[in-house]
Structure 1
């Protein structure tokens, strides 16, 4: 059972919209090595897991897979912010729909020249389940062999490739919103690499001989260095409300990254950051709720208040 805290797992820095940067981020969301892939792969491996004696490995997959859900939310929200308007036009409900915006910019003109036009045609200035080339995300990306060693090796490769690609995305744009999100994901990818590497070591697999991790030197990025100095690359959360996770039996000891840190899986979840709802966008004909809809909602709510309340669990 999953519960959602109405927070982002990491704060997104404020900056101007940047549709081209948003499209680069689509690779990190819906690409073959993106966050949708890691989320689905680890959760399917966890759901299909066999062997009660190997529960700590299932719990490790479960915890990382659950975190990946929050990564999908973070990177998708970042894309939505980067496509929200343009640097020259910030639509308001009082603006004429058919008139040029501030500075002479037509509201959706950037859709024709920058990034992915589907962000505007299909997504109303929001993220899509596609890669940077517009190819739809595919369930065929998910690898779940049923063999623990093979799955862990594949997961280690997946996290390493994802981190490599995010380092490249970082270098594509100086936009602060993009870099704040990508930097966080670079560090968390390393934390997940450490988890899968440590799990393989406990199974007697000398992974360094068969799967050398790309040396990205991501600490050269100031945002990454700040988080690495806090040790976030050596921390894994359980996201377990019951305290039943045994992932800490694996995620402990010296970090496989050989950076002098100790792995730590004692925390339930990070503190998180405020999650706000985006403003209405009249130029996308996405105005939210008009007076007629609000009146209908209120009438429906009045009827539902008379119905018995249903809850899950004890009152």
Structure 2
């Protein structure tokens, strides 16, 4: 089973909206070598794993695959931030829908020639499960041969190629929002390269003679250099609450990157505060909850929450402590301007 912690893996640096950069990032989200592919590939290799004696290798795959879920979340949130509010629509919720935005601009005219129009037509200024060309992500990308050395070798190639693409994307934009996420993923891709390289070494495979990792020299990017100094490229997370994960039996010793660091495992990254939910976009007909919808939420919650003995509008717990608002009270506060 999996748990979701409402913290982001890495801080997304604020900057101006940039729909073109958002579309470029779609490649590392839904492209052939993107994070949706790595997420599903490693998890399916974990689900289908055979051989109890090789459990440390399965646990390593599970840890990397689970982290990739967070990478998908991070990139999707970054894309949404790059698209959100573009062009600078500065109207009010009470304005007519077709009222011009700042400077007399048509609210969504930028969608026609500066980005992927589906970010606006289909996604309402959010990420999509497609690549930079707009082609849908497909499960045909996922590779699972059932053979451990083959899977590990393929995974190493996948991480190397994905890292190479992210370095190229870094050079395509100076947008701080895009670069903050790309830099983090470049370093974590190196950590995953180390994970699969070390696993291959444990199996006696001379991977560095067969498949040299591309020398991207990504450390010349200042954001990347800062993360490398923290040793982020030499940590692997288990995401194991029961401490039964055995990936540390594989991910240990000197780093295959030959950078003088030692590999180590941790339960999970500390993360940064979750940025919150995006504001309503009336020009996208995405207003959030109106009073009628709130009434429906209330009716449903009263049936479900009451059965669990939780307060609907009253005190937060039975002894009268808390904020006194209950579940729906907090929902109402959250959506009331």
Q: Deviations over 1:108-132 (max 9, x none)?
A: 1110011100000000000000000
The total of aligned residue pairs comes to: 309
Do structure 1's residue 214 and structure 2's residue 222 form an aligned pair? Answer: no
| Residue 189 (str. 1) matches residue 189 (str. 2) | yes
Aligned to 2:75, the other structure's residue is in SS state helix
**Cα distance, 1:158–1:91 mapped onto 2, change above 3 Å:** farther
8 Å CA contact 1:16, 1:87 repeated in 2: no
User: Offset at 1:87?
Assistant: 4.9
Per the alignment, residue 250 of structure 2 pairs with 250
- Aligned to 1:263, what secondary structure does the other structure show? strand
Give the structure-2-normalised TM-score: 0.90
Q: Is the 8 A contact 1:18 1:87 kept in 2?
A: no
* Misfit runs of 4+, over 4 Å: none
Write out per-residue CA displacement over residues 26-56 of structure 1, whole angstroms, 9 at most, x where no aligned residue: 0000000000000000000000000011000
Q: What residue is the counterpart of 2:5 in the other structure?
A: 5
Secondary structure in structure 2 of the residue aligned to 1:305: helix
Tell me the alpha carbon deviations over residues 200-231 of structure 1, each in whole angstroms, 9 at most, x when there is no partner: 00111110111111111101111000000000
2:23 match: 23
Under a length normalisation based on structure 1, what TM-score does the superposition of the two structures give?
0.96
Alignment partner of 1:272 is 2:271? yes
Shift of 1:308: 4.2
- The Cα shift of 1:152 comes to 0.2
Supply the distance in 2 between the matched residues of 1:159 and 1:212 (Cα, whole angstroms).
12
> Where in structure 1 are there 5+ consecutive unaligned residues?
311-315
Aligned position for 2:282: 282
Alignment of 1:74-153 (within 5 A): 74-153=74-153
Whether the aligned pair in 1 keeps the contact of 2:87 and 2:109 (CA below 8 Å) is no
SS across alignment from 2:152 = helix
Contact 2:15 2:175 in 1 (8 A): yes
Return the alpha-carbon distance in structure 1 between the equivalents of residues 66 and 305 of structure 2: 34
What CA distance in whole angstroms lies between the structure 1 residues aligned with 2:176 and 2:308? 48
Give the Å deviation of 1:99. Answer: 1.3
Residue 106 of structure 1: how far off its partner (Å): 1.2
Give the distance between the partners of 2:92 and 2:187, measured in 1 at CA.
37
Q: Is the 8 A contact 1:130 1:136 kept in 2?
A: yes
Query: Aligned in 2, Cα 1:256/1:279: closer, same or farther, shift over 3 Å?
Result: same
CA deviation map 1:136-167 (0-9, x unaligned):
00100000000000000000000000000000
Cα deviation per residue 1:222-241 (whole Å; 9 max; x = unaligned)?
Answer: 10000000000000010000
Q: 1:250 to 1:81 in 2, by over 3 A?
A: same
| Higher RCO (C-alpha 8 Å, min separation 6) | 1
* Equivalent position of 2:331 in the other structure: none
**Contact 2:89–2:101, Cα closer than 8 Å, also in 1:** yes
